[in-house]
Chain A
């Protein structure tokens, strides 16, 4: 970070200016893969937020202990440990979500957003800024996933957060909960996001 940001700007940048999904295009695999419903998007967003927050905290605390040559493997181990915790907690307490997210839970490890923040932010900044950065980025990611999930669920299955607002026999645009729908919905969503963020 060249310029000094206030804590508020630091928090907000993750949500709008540097939104991980729409602007930085990080973590695209879970973004596209799990957003067939708003609930799944929210669940994935919160799981990622937790891992991001914890790894940013740990990296920021021990950054001076890690030799710079092995910092990337060290970050990966830290991240992988928290992902394992998330995996076990979800399996034990929310088995339904665990089934739905499937392979994408262990794949949080390779979400470039988390490693990216550890490397670009937490390893250079103090604890407080790193926590705020993680919260901003994590919430930005969660909002993006939930929005995409909600749009796909509304169009694809005529419901939102599993609450169905069209009759049982109504035809919905099934395409949107199938894989192509993820790409198409995200394409239009990022056009809208670009429009909003450019006019501000």
Chain B
């Protein structure tokens, strides 16, 4: 039950993009086609889950016992950056088709604040355990995928719309994101 609540909270109520504002850059950057947004979502799911697992273990068994808690930010970002590189190399070797699908998005993920954000947020969960933290990361990446894919589908339709000159490009995208976020606000109180 607790896990279902985490899932619903992360996907709908506190959607990582639309209500917590993490990962806005890929949200606005790679959302012009549904196919690319699916690729990006897959890459985020992959990296976020592995990154949270590693950073959680690192925090629990190295940083906290040695009292080096204040090094959290530096450690986490380095781990994530190294991890992204490693995932890229391994994927290239082990599963070329998957690398083909996700490859271009992987380097972009290092500076995706959603990955670092979720790794930090996962530490603050109530009675957190490794399993719960990992589940939290997976739920959040599903939330990211949902927001990104829905947004991309709307943007594909938007190409046909007649938009005032000054609203073209960024402003209309932000406005659409705002309306989407408004829709997600309707889920408040669900959990």
Known: A33-B20, A76-B77, A80-B73. A190 touches B174 (CB 8 A): yes
A150 within 8 A of B: no
- In the docked arrangement, what's the CA distance between A84 and B171, Å? 34
Which residues 1-53 in B have Cβ within 8 Å of A in the complex? 18-25, 28
A29, B72: Cβ atoms closer than 8 Å: no
Smallest CB separation, B95 vs chain A (Å): 26
- In the docked arrangement, what's the CA distance between A106 and B113, Å? 10
Chain A contacts for B125, CB-based, 8 A: none
Interface size on A, residues (CB 8 A): 39
A77 within 8 A of B: yes
Residue in A112, A179, A184, A195 whose beta carbon sits within 8 Å of that of B18 in the complex: A179
Residue in B18, B70, B72, B111 whose beta carbon sits within 8 Å of that of A115 in the complex: B111
Known: A84-B74, A107-B113, A110-B116. A184 touches B174 (CB 8 A): yes
Nearest-neighbor residue (CB-CB) of B82 within chain A: A73
A25, B181: Cβ atoms closer than 8 Å: no
- In the docked arrangement, what's the CA distance between A77 and B73, Å? 10
Chain A contacts for B81, CB-based, 8 A: 72-73, 76
Known: A29-B25, A103-B117. A110 touches B166 (CB 8 A): no
Residue in B22, B178, B182 whose beta carbon sits within 8 Å of that of A29 in the complex: B22
Chain A contacts for B73, CB-based, 8 A: 80, 83-84, 87, 106, 109
Smallest CB separation, A102 vs chain B (Å): 10
A106, B181: Cβ atoms closer than 8 Å: no
Main secondary structure of the interface of B (DSSP, over half): helix
B116, A180: Cβ atoms closer than 8 Å: no
B78, A25: Cβ atoms closer than 8 Å: no
Known: A106-B72, A179-B19. A190 touches B171 (CB 8 A): yes
Q: Interface size for chain B: under 10, 10 to 19, 20 to 34, or 35 or more residues?
A: 35 or more
Residue in B21, B121, B175 whose beta carbon sits within 8 Å of that of A179 in the complex: B21
A25, B77: Cβ atoms closer than 8 Å: no
Chain B contacts for A77, CB-based, 8 A: 74, 78
A128 within 8 A of B: no
A103, B121: Cβ atoms closer than 8 Å: yes
Known: A80-B77, A109-B77. A32 touches B24 (CB 8 A): yes
Nearest-neighbor residue (CB-CB) of B75 within chain A: A80
Nearest-neighbor residue (CB-CB) of B23 within chain A: A29
A180, B120: Cβ atoms closer than 8 Å: no
- In the docked arrangement, what's the CA distance between A175 and B74, Å? 36
A180, B28: Cβ atoms closer than 8 Å: no
- In the docked arrangement, what's the CA distance between A29 and B178, Å? 14
B190 within 8 A of A: no
Chain A contacts for B170, CB-based, 8 A: 25, 187, 190
A7 within 8 A of B: no
Which residues 167-191 in B have Cβ within 8 Å of A in the complex? 167, 170-175, 177-179, 181-182, 185
Which residues 110-140 in B have Cβ within 8 Å of A in the complex? 110-113, 116-117, 120-121
10 contacts between A and B (CB under 8 A): A32-B21, A33-B22, A84-B74, A106-B76, A180-B178, A182-B181, A183-B178, A184-B178, A187-B167, A194-B166
